[in-house]
Amino acid sequence: MQEEKKGILSALGAYIIWGVFPLYWKELKHVSSEEILAGRVVWSFVLTILFVFIVKQGKVLTSDFKALWQRPKSFWLLVCAAYLISLNWFLYIWAVNNNHIVESSLGYYMNPLVSVLLGIFFLKETLTKAQVLSFIIAAIGVLILVVSYGQIPWVSIGLALTFGVYGLLKKKVLVDATRGLVMETFFILPVAIAYYVYIYFQGNISFLNIDMKTDLFIIGTGIVTAVPLILFATGAQKIPLYLIGFIQYISPTIMLFLGVIVYGETFNGIDLLSFSFIWAALILFSISKIVEMRKARY
């Protein structure tokens, strides 16, 4: 019971940190989204590899790299996963700093449903009638937004798809969360450094050229990336999957609150109607998954 309590607290910590990310990215709104992403990659790599050596897992990390290199399929899957999560990071940073926090929250509400849909197509997973109904309800919610806005909510769909496909690829390459982040950021590191060199020679670099607060926040992107991931990995090992499924909705809920209450983004009747369909779909989907897992247990 004590271990489960630790797991719940760890998972809660991870999703709360992910939920309040907009507060952090807004502090860097004067920096281009591309440079924030490059800084996040560089400092995530530096800080997580330091952490790995501090906890004396350097040899294990070397073994992970060797094992991955000997399996070309897994190697390239992880490379693709690394670039997909980078695209997800970029979309999210751009969305927050261009006043699309509400649309971002919709994307992360949609993510569990998109992940299951990908599982049907690529892993041949099957759905119950209740789960099929939840997809239809969610689709109606998205369709309401499309008709209302006259355009597809590409930020929401982009975030849900990139994270969903990232999760699908990661299922095929089993690596420790922290050491996995070292490897993923290592694959993107050359591009991030090349971008830094490019903006340096263009005279557009913000790091070390504005103020100490900006520099510290850019360096801090490594911490805010690594800490929730480590917390999530700890939590996921100690609590049931269905519990993680419920806790994960904390993050987009906090985002929605911040977007509407703190940053004054629009949330009208049509938005409420659309989100209500998505929420109803998620409730139905979550209940069906709990029933399914309990049946499997007995």
pLDDT digits (tens, 9 = 90+) for 104-147: 998 988 887 787 788 778 877 777 788 788 888 988 888 888 88
The pLDDT, as a whole number, for residue 1 is: 59
- For residues 178 and 52, is the Cβ–Cβ distance under 8 A? yes
pLDDT digits (tens, 9 = 90+) for 248-261: 888 999 999 999 99
Q: Which SS3 state, helix, strand or coil, does residue 151 take?
A: coil
The pLDDT, as a whole number, for residue 143 is: 87
Domain hosting 167: range is 2-297
Task: Give the chain's domain count.
Answer: 1
Residue 50, C-beta contacts closer than 8 angstroms, at least 6 positions apart: none
Integer angstrom CA distances of residue 62 from 43, 109, 253: 20, 37, 39
pLDDT digits (tens, 9 = 90+) for 40-77: 999 999 999 998 999 889 999 999 999 999 999 999 99
pTM reported for the whole predicted model: 0.89
The pLDDT, as a whole number, for residue 242 is: 60
Most confident of 155-169, 234-248, 253-267, 270-284: 253-267
pLDDT above 90 covers what percent of the chain?
A: 54
The pLDDT, as a whole number, for residue 297 is: 61
Residue 100, C-beta contacts closer than 8 angstroms, at least 6 positions apart: 94, 155, 265
Please check the confidence at residue 38 and state whether its pLDDT lies above 90: yes
Neighbours of 3 (CB within 10 A): 10
Length of the chain: 298
The pLDDT, as a whole number, for residue 46 is: 95
Structure tokens at 23: 């507060």
How far is the C-alpha of 51 from the C-alpha of 28, rounded, in Å?
Answer: 25
